[in-house]
Amino acid sequence: METKQVNKIKVMKFSTKATLKDLNQYTGAVPNRLKEKAMSLGLFNGEPQIWQYNGSDGNPETEFQLDICVPVSAFVGDPGEFSFDELPSVRCLCETHKGAWSEMGHTYQKMIGEMMKNSWTFTGITREIYINCDFENQQNCITEVQIALK
Q: Give average pLDDT by consecutive 10-residue segment, the chain, 150 residues.
A: 96 96 88 95 95 93 96 96 97 96 91 95 95 88 96
Query: Residue 62: what residue type?
Result: T
Q: Report the alpha-carbon distance of residue 137 to residue 56 in Å, rounded.
A: 27
Q: CB neighbours (10 Å) of residue 33? A: 16
pLDDT at 17: 97
For the chain, what's the residue count?
150
**Class of 2-149 per CATH?**
alpha beta
Domains of the chain, residue spans: 2-149
pLDDT at 50: 97
pLDDT at 28: 79
